[in-house]
Amino acid sequence: MVRTFAGMSIIRVALDVPVAKLFDYRAQEASAADVGHRVLVPFGRKTAVGVIVELARSTAVPEERLKGVIRILQEFPPLAAEDLRLLRFAADYYHHPLGAVVMGALPTRLRRVAGPPRLKKRGPVMPQEAGPAVRTAPLEAAAAPELTTEQMRAVSSIRAGLGGFHPFLLLGVTGSGKTEVYLHAVAAALEAGRQALVLVPEIALTPQLEALVQHRFPGTPTVSLHSALAEAERLEHWRAACSGQARIVLGTRLAVFAPLPELGLIVVDEEQDSSFKQGEGFRYSARDLAVVRARQRGVPVVLASATPALETYHNAVSGRYTLLTLSHRIGAPPPRISCIDMRGDKLSDGVSERLLTALRERVAAGEQALVFINRRGYAPVLMCRSCGWVSGCQRCSARLVLHLQERRLRCHHCGHVSPAPAACPDCGNQDLAPVGHGTQRVEEALSRLIPQARILRIDRDTTRQRRAWRAMRERIQERNVDILVGTQILAKGHDFPHLNLVGVLNADSQLYSGDFRAAERLFALLTQVAGRAGRGGIQGEVLIQTEFPHHPLYAALRVQDYRAFADDALAERRQAGFPPFLHQALLRAEAPRLDTALEFLGAAARRGSALDRQVTAYDPVPAALPRRAGRERAQLLVQSASRSRLRDFLDAWSKALTSSAPTRARWSIDVDPLEF
C-alpha cells in the first residue's frame, strides 16, 4: 500500500548495495535543493552513506518501518541534475543497480561513513604544481605548431560545432597531429568560458598529456582523475571539477562521470581502446557514455584514433558522426613495415637474426629502438621436460607465468603468487624449462646479445610505483636508453623522436582467435606500435616476426590503409551478422560448480525465449576462461537487429531473473560485450 504523509518529506536514497532499488527515508527538513547531496542513513544494523536522488510525497514503506535520516551531508556541492541523469541512463542501459553506479562514481572518501578530511581552501592542483591561483578566464595559450591544411579544416569543423551536440570521428594516421587538433578544440571551449573533459585509456598516458596541457595552457586550472591518485588528491581534484574551478579535466575511464557544471567539450583519445570498457562489476563503456553525455549536455564530442573501433567508423561513414580525416604524417614519411619470415630465420631466444642486426645498427647509430611483446613476465609457462607437468593455476583455467627475477609464479588473472619450484612437483625432476617468451626473458636475451645497449623494460611490473613511468620517460627523452622492451603500455600516445626502429615479437598468437574482433584488435595494436617509429624526421622501420608473412592482415598493415581494412572487415561483419549490424548482450554466470552456472543459464534461456521470439538466445557455454579465482564461469549470448528491442527484452528478462527462485549462481548482464 502506498502511504502519503502530510507535512513530511520523504527522500529516496541510492545506496551501494547489489539491489536495483532506491530506499525511502524520512527527512523533515529536506527540500529540492538537497537532491544530489550525500546523506547518512541507518541501513540494517549499520550506518551507510548514500545520495539523495529524488523527493517523494508517498511511500510503500509502513510508517513504523520508515526510518529517519541521520544527517544530510553538505560539505560538498551536490551532484547536479544532469549528473544524476547520466548516472540513471548508465544504470538502466547497462542493467546495474543505480545505487552502485551513483556511489561508484564518487571519490572513495565520499563513500565512507567517516567524514572527509578538511581540505585546504585553495585552487585545484596544477600538473607538477600545488595550489595556483584560480583564474576566472584562461590565459593565452603558449605557442603552438603551425597547423596543416587538414588540421585547420578539422579544427574549424569542431569550433563550428561548439554550443551543440556534434559527434566527430577524428581519424588520423599515427603522427598526423590529432592531439594538436583536439588541443585547439579545447582552447576554443576555454575561450567560450566552458570546461573541457579529455579521456585517455591508460594512466600511463596522463603524465605526458598533463605536461603538454600545462605548456599549452599555462595558468589554466587543470586536474587529472584516475585510480593512481592518492585518496585525498583524487577527492581534491574531483571537488575542483565539481565546483567549476578546474577548466580542463584529464582522466581515464571513470572520469566520464566527473561533475562538470560548465562542460563545453568532450574528447576521447584512442577511442578504440578496450580499456574504456569496464571488465567487471558495472560493465560500462566510457566511450559510449561520453557520446551520451555530450548529447544530454548539448556539446560536441571528439573521438580520436588512427584505428577507430569498427562501430565508431561505421557511424562515421554512415553519416551519424562527422568524419574528420588527417591522412598525412607531419614531419616524416610513414614507417616502412615488413615481415620477417620466421620459418627460414635462425632465432636467438625468440629474436631473429635480421631483427638483431637491425637493433645493433640502430644502437651503433645512436638511435633508439623498441622491441614489442605483449606478454609480461619471463615465460608464459614453466614445464617439466620429463613428465610434462606445467605450471597451472589451481584457482583458474590458466597457466602461472614465470617471473624469474622474483623466482615467483604468478597468475595474471586472479593474482595468485607462489614460489617457483626447484623441482617438478609430480616427478621430482629438476630440469624445469621456461616455455615461450615474456618481456623479462627478452630483456635478458638482448642484454646478452647486444651488451653495449642500454635496455629498459616497460610493463605493468616495472611501472607499478607511482612515479616510475615518469622517471622512465625522462630517461628515454634524455637518450639514456637505447632499446625499450615493452608491452602495449608503449603502443599508443607516446612521442619519442629518436625511436626509429620497432620490432614485434609473437604477433601470430592473436591471428587465429575465436573472437570475431581479434583481427580488428591486432590491426589496431600493430598500427599503434608501428606508429612509434620515425616521429623525429627520419623514416622509421618496423619489423614483424611471423610465420605467416602473406596473411591478409599483414598485407593490409604494410600499406597502412586503415579505411581499406575497415571497409573489408565491415563487409564481412555484415555478411556474418556481427556488430555493428546487430546488437548483443551476454548473461554471465559463475558458481562453485560449472553445471550450476550452466543450469541457471539454461533456465534463463527458456525464460528469455518466452519473452520475445525476435531476440535470439544461443545455448549457454563455458566462458573462454572457465574457471577464475576458484569459481566456474559460463555465459549466454543474446542478440537482436534492434537496439531498442534488445533493451526492452533485457529490462523484462532482468526483472524475471531477479524474481526467480534462489540460485547459487551469481549473474550479471554485459551489454555490448567486448570479451567473450
pLDDT tens-digit map of 309-349: 999 999 999 999 999 999 999 988 899 999 999 987 788 88
Rounded distance between C-alpha atoms, residue 508 and residue 161, angstroms = 43
Does residue 475 lie within any of the structural domains?
yes
Reply yes or no on whether the pLDDT at 35 is more than 60: yes
Q: Which three cell numbers stand for residue 88?
A: 540513471
- Report how far apart, in Å, the C-alpha atoms of 380 and of each of 15, 43, 400, 504 are: 42, 47, 7, 17
Rounded distance between C-alpha atoms, residue 396 and residue 403, angstroms = 18
Q: Which three cell numbers stand for residue 243?
A: 565546483
Q: How sure is the predictor about 131, in pLDDT bands with cuts at 50, 70 and 90?
A: very low
Reply yes or no on whether the pLDDT at 377 is more than 50: yes
The stretch 221-233 carries a mean pLDDT of: 93
Based on the domain organization, do 360 and 231 belong to the same domain?
no
The stretch 43-51 carries a mean pLDDT of: 95
Domain range holding 171?
149-326
Does residue 321 lie within any of the structural domains?
yes
Does residue 667 lie within any of the structural domains?
yes
pLDDT (0 to 100) of residue 331: 85
Structural domain total, the chain: 4
The stretch 575-593 carries a mean pLDDT of: 96
Q: Which three cell numbers stand for residue 417?
A: 603468487
Give the model confidence (pLDDT) of 548-566 as tens digits. Answer: 999 999 999 999 999 999 9
Within 13 Å, how many C-alpha atoms sit on residue 359's CB side?
A: 29
Does residue 267 lie within any of the structural domains?
yes
Q: How sure is the predictor about 121, in pLDDT bands with cuts at 50, 70 and 90?
A: very low
pLDDT (0 to 100) of residue 2: 52
Based on the domain organization, do 510 and 608 belong to the same domain?
no
Residues in the chain: 676
The stretch 39-55 carries a mean pLDDT of: 95
The stretch 110-117 carries a mean pLDDT of: 72
pLDDT (0 to 100) of residue 3: 56
Reply yes or no on whether the pLDDT at 296 is more than 70: yes
pLDDT (0 to 100) of residue 98: 97
Mean pLDDT computed over every residue of the chain:
91
Q: How sure is the predictor about 142, in pLDDT bands with cuts at 50, 70 and 90?
A: low
Based on the domain organization, do 233 and 302 belong to the same domain?
yes
Reply yes or no on whether the pLDDT at 120 is more than 60: no
Give the model confidence (pLDDT) of 392-441 as tens digits. Answer: 998 999 999 999 888 899 999 999 999 999 999 999 999 899 998 899 99
- Range from 255-264, 488-497, 514-523, 527-536 that averages highest in pLDDT: 255-264
Rounded distance between C-alpha atoms, residue 426 and residue 270, angstroms = 47
The stretch 261-266 carries a mean pLDDT of: 98
Rounded distance between C-alpha atoms, residue 645 and residue 264, angstroms = 32
- Report residue 339 CA to chain centroid gap: 30
Based on the domain organization, do 446 and 482 belong to the same domain?
yes
Based on the domain organization, do 321 and 340 belong to the same domain?
no
Boundary (domain end) residue, out of 38, 59, 80: 80
Based on the domain organization, do 272 and 343 belong to the same domain?
no
Q: How sure is the predictor about 488, in pLDDT bands with cuts at 50, 70 and 90?
A: confident
Number of CB atoms found within 10 A of residue 518's CB = 14
Boundary (domain end) residue, out of 571, 600, 633: 571
Does residue 296 lie within any of the structural domains?
yes
Based on the domain organization, do 607 and 492 belong to the same domain?
no
The stretch 32-46 carries a mean pLDDT of: 95
pLDDT (0 to 100) of residue 114: 67
* 641: amino acid identity, one letter: A
Give the model confidence (pLDDT) of 621-657 as tens digits. Answer: 999 999 999 999 999 999 999 999 999 999 999 999 9
The stretch 5-32 carries a mean pLDDT of: 87
Q: Which three cell numbers stand for residue 439?
A: 618481456
The stretch 117-138 carries a mean pLDDT of: 43
**CATH code of the domain in which 32 resides:** 3.40.1440.60
Reply yes or no on whether the pLDDT at 455 is more than 50: yes
DSSP-derived 3-state class of residue 402 = strand
More confident residue, 122 or 360: 360
Cis peptide leading into 580, omega within 30 of 0? Answer: yes
Q: Which three cell numbers stand for residue 447?
A: 642484454
Based on the domain organization, do 30 and 168 belong to the same domain?
no
Based on the domain organization, do 652 and 564 belong to the same domain?
no
Based on the domain organization, do 482 and 551 belong to the same domain?
yes
Q: Is 252 exposed, middle or buried (0-12, 13-18, 19+ CB in 10 A)?
A: buried
* 642: amino acid identity, one letter: S
The stretch 589-610 carries a mean pLDDT of: 95
Based on the domain organization, do 189 and 302 belong to the same domain?
yes
pLDDT (0 to 100) of residue 632: 95
Based on the domain organization, do 357 and 232 belong to the same domain?
no
**CATH code of the domain in which 315 resides:** 3.40.50.300
Reply yes or no on whether the pLDDT at 182 is more than 70: yes
pLDDT over 70 for what percent of the chain? 94
pLDDT (0 to 100) of residue 135: 35
Burial track 100-124 (b if 16+ CB lie within 10 A, e otherwise) = bbbbbbbbebbbeeeebeeeeeebb
H/E run at residue 37: none
